[in-house]
């Protein structure tokens, strides 16, 4: 009986041990599995967007709301905006880039006026003109002279940064030197282009011949303009400010010429902001009012600007 009791106790002890092993083994296995296998770490959330592919075409660092010509031959012209080129003629030729102007249709509105100023920049008149234009919310086009730019680069920068168009008006405006030959004319244009580009980082593609092209340009001039990718811009309304006329008379001169309704769709007004043209500055608010009262659209000169005649 004593033997049976000891046997029973032994069996019970073994049963307890086996039951303990059965219960603890899955937990042990699970613990071993957890310690042996690395816990997968989820990737941190990506708060950054995929990088945007870098633009392979050149854009100036100080870009404004304008149309910039660069390496892209299929870069479409932007309507109603100033036109600039990130390359000079020589740089385009050296890199084998196209020089020709993109084909655009001329813009004829019902009532359109282009305010243009020649012979600047000048330290007093040009900033005064810019202030008036800014106050009136109007953009204009400035045909600048190279040796004036060298003297007053800050004024050129202001013209550019204010969103106006800039055109090339030769280097020195001295007719006997400028019109000696086709080569002398385009040498001045190229030199002025380089000066402008050194100051604002780009150069214009529009130009205006001092005194106008009539009587000064030959067929060779026109052919070279086309080959080098310049657009020559004349005028069809003159303020008459090359004379000693006072501000009131300048306004009257313009009003009289605007009786010609054929010009309303592309009125290109010639004024000057160079030295000796304080009367133009005085007349400008009344000139702008004249066109605003008649609901004219103000535009800058670009590739869309029609030939004045």
Residue 29 in domain: no
DSSP string over 246-275: -HHHHHHHHHHHTT-GGGTTSEEEEEE-ST
User: Is the pLDDT score of 50 beyond 80?
Assistant: no
The H-or-E segment that residue 174 falls in is none
Closest listed residue to residue 204, CA positions, set 64, 60, 87: 87
pLDDT digit string (tens) for 220-266? 999 999 999 999 999 999 999 999 999 999 999 999 999 999 999 99
User: Is the pLDDT score of 275 beyond 60?
Assistant: yes
Q: What is the overall mean pLDDT for the chain?
A: 88
Residue 5 in domain: no
Provide the pLDDT for residue 8: 46
Residue 272 in domain: yes
User: Is the pLDDT score of 17 beyond 90?
Assistant: no
Rounded mean pLDDT, 60-80: 91
Could you tell me the residue range of the domain that residue 187 belongs to? 82-93+108-298
Distance in angstroms (rounded) separating the CA atoms of residues 100 and 259: 36
Domain of 271, CATH number, reads: 3.20.20.370
Residue 41 in domain: no
Distance in angstroms (rounded) separating the CA atoms of residues 301 and 146: 19
User: Is the pLDDT score of 36 beyond 80?
Assistant: no
Residue 208 in domain: yes
Number of domains in the chain: 1
Q: Count Cβ atoms below 10 Å from residue 8 Cβ, excluding itself.
A: 10
Residue 230 in domain: yes
Residues 306, 234 contacting (CB under 8 angstroms) = no
Residue 55 in domain: no
Provide the pLDDT for residue 74: 87
Residue 25 in domain: no
Provide the pLDDT for residue 15: 52
User: Is the pLDDT score of 14 beyond 90?
Assistant: no
* Residue whose token pair is 């008149």: 125
pTM above 0.75, yes or no: yes
Burial grade of 120 (CB within 10 A; 0-12, 13-18, 19 or more): buried
């Amino acid at each position: 009986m004593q033997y049976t009791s000891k046997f029973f106790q032994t069996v019970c002890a073994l049963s307890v041990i086996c039951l303990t092993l059965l219960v603890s083994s899955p937990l042990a296995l699970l613990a071993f599995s957890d310690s042996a296998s690395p816990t997968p770490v989820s990737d941190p959330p990506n708060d950054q967007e995929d990088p945007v592919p870098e633009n392979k075409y050149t854009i100036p660092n100080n870009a404004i709301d304008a149309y910039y010509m660069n390496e892209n031959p299929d870069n479409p012209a932007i309507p109603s905006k100033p036109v600039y080129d990130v390359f000079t003629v020589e740089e385009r030729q050296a890199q084998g880039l196209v020089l020709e102007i993109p084909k655009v249709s001329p813009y004829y509105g019902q009532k359109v006026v282009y305010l243009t100023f020649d012979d600047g920049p000048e330290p007093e008149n040009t900033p005064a003109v810019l202030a008036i234009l800014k106050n009136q919310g109007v953009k204009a086009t400035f045909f600048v002279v190279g040796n004036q730019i060298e003297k007053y680069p800050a004024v050129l920068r202001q013209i550019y940064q204010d969103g106006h168009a800039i055109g090339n008006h030769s280097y020195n405006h001295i007719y006997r030197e400028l019109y000696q030959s086709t080569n002398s004319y385009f040498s001045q244009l190229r030199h002025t282009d380089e000066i402008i580009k050194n100051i604002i980082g780009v150069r214009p593609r529009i130009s205006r011949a001092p005194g106008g092209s009539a009587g000064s340009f030959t067929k060779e001039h026109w052919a070279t303009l086309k080959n080098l990718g310049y657009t020559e811009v004349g005028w069809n309304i003159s303020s008459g400010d090359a004379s000693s006329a006072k501000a009131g008379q300048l306004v009257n001169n313009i009003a009289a010429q605007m009786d010609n309704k054929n010009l309303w769709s592309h009125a290109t007004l010639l004024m000057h902001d160079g030295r000796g043209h304080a009367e133009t500055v005085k007349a400008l608010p009344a000139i702008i009012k004249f066109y605003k009262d008649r609901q004219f659209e103000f535009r800058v000169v670009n590739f869309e600007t029609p030939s004045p005649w």
